[in-house]
Amino acid sequence: MTRSLVAGVDSSTQSCKVVVCDADTGAVVRTGRSPHPDGTQVHPEAWWSAWEHATSGGLLDGVEALAVGGQQHGMVTLDPHGEIVRPALLWNDTRSAESADDLVREFGGPGAWAQEIGVVPVAAITVTKLRWLARQEPESLARTRTCVLPHDWLTGKILQAQGGFEGWTTDRGDASGTGYWSAHTQRYRDDVLELATGRALEVPRVLAPRESAGRTTSGMVVAAGTGDNMGAALGLGLAPGDVVVSLGTSGTVFARHGQAVSDASGALASFADAEGGYLPLLCTLNASRVLNAGAALLGVDFAGLDALALAADPGAGGLILLPYLDGERTPNLPLATGSLVGLTRTNATPENLARAVVEGMLLNLVAGVDALRAAGVEIHRILVIGGAAISPAVQQIAPLLFGVPVAIPAAGEYVGIGAARQAAWALSGTAKPPAWSTSIDAQFAPGPADQAADIVQRYRQAVHALHGR
């Protein structure tokens, strides 16, 4: 019997990854990959070149539907002819930090943003980049008719190249990260766009989770697509009580929830998910690259960093790393740098430094788990994914710091798998997405609660002492 094939695209900060899956089971049949340029500003045509390379050699032969999961928040500006006005500003571009502060104040403060939009703007959020554009490149804004997100642009480009393009679209998950689409009302806020830019802009049509953006001339369904975090949640098949800690370029903490949340501190963004519910989420700029920097500083490879970290006692002898190596999004410290706190002659060892590197990266995400708990989200276990999830040090230290069981799902491209699952959903027309299973490679029990509490408390005191947060 011939099986149906679907494809999911993960157009991330670093690369374009494509997985082709069995539509019924989710089993990965074949994959493709191509890198993206480094930086915080990228011309979208680089994403298209990576897509073409990743799907070359007949990768999509027999595929009946696909969907794109993409990096959130990026600003792609298009003129009246659909041409790109300027290179896209990505989520990790912090030049709009001052604009974010101004918008928060002008709209009535953090509480107003949290209550009405669900997101308190920081430099990562799209609306702040539009305000930056209005201030710094008014001629570019004058040429701009439409602003779309990275996944919106690639979805539209696929349909333009293969026929079936009927206009720019997005989905509720990715739209909820713009700052001008409200997770609370499920609508765009034209007043916020005008506050940011001083003018009206066209916006993409928001598709329902199982709706399609179009169909190519060959008959392939192109589903709505979504943001990368929403795609990962769909790919993992999150159950109530599951919280994801993703350790990639950025660090994220998120869980599915039945209602929008309101967090005036700005730590939690009230995003929508890709299934009709919500995905409260905390995001940091610094995750796996903290381990890269630690290994380089110590002159070891990743295995060496793991061995050193696991040879040290919990708490690293009082040595604390505040891991703001590229500025930080949460807490909102875009101009901060990393800080090593509590260094003494006694704890100045490679082992303690390695331990502080791993603990520092994770402790910045412990705050996310605490914020979810405070918002009423059930937390029974942590699923750790992303490049740093394979680290033995991360696997053993995380259960101690998070204080709940930690599970390590089998290695997989979960954003792409989630996008493929969405494509299968759009293809089937069923009320719910297909039931694909997720394999767990390892599980770890939490460590002593009092030991974890002491480490977490000292970290918080260090953050407050240096940054008043």
CA distance 407 to 443: 4
Burial class (CB in 10 A: 0-12, 13-18, 19+), 110: middle
CA distance 330 to 267: 6
Marked catalytic residue, from 93, 152, 174, 228 = 228
Is residue 150 within 8 A of residue 88, CB to CB? The reply is yes
Q: Which amino acid is at 178?
A: T
- Residue 41, CB-side half-sphere exposure with 13 Å CA sphere: 7
Give the pair of three-digit tokens for residue 67.
Answer: 């969907």
Residue with tokens 């082992």: 351
Distances (CA, A) of 111 to 263, 268, 374: 8, 12, 16
Q: Is 24 a catalytic residue?
A: no
Consecutive H or E run containing 464: helix 449-467
Using only C-alpha atoms, the chain has a radius of gyration, in whole angstroms, of 22
Give the pair of three-digit tokens for residue 72.
Answer: 């959130």
CA distance 457 to 370: 13
Strands 63-70 and 5-11: parallel
Is residue 385 within 8 A of residue 409, CB to CB? The reply is yes
Q: Is 19 helix (H, G, I), strand (E, B) or coil?
A: strand
CA distance 292 to 154: 30
- Alpha-carbon torsion 415, 65, 213, 273, what sign? negative
Query: Buried b / exposed e across 304-331, counting CB within 10 Å, b at 16+?
Result: ebbebbbebebbbbebbbbbbbbbbbbb
E-state strands within 61-139: 63-70, 76-78, 88-89
CA distance 435 to 423: 13
Q: Is 48 helix (H, G, I), strand (E, B) or coil?
A: helix
DSSP state of 133: H
Q: Is 58 helix (H, G, I), strand (E, B) or coil?
A: coil
Query: Buried b / exposed e across 30-64, counting CB within 10 Å, b at 16+?
Result: eebebebeeebebebebbbebbeebbeeebbeebb
CA distance 269 to 287: 18
Supply the residues annotated as catalytic.
Answer: 228
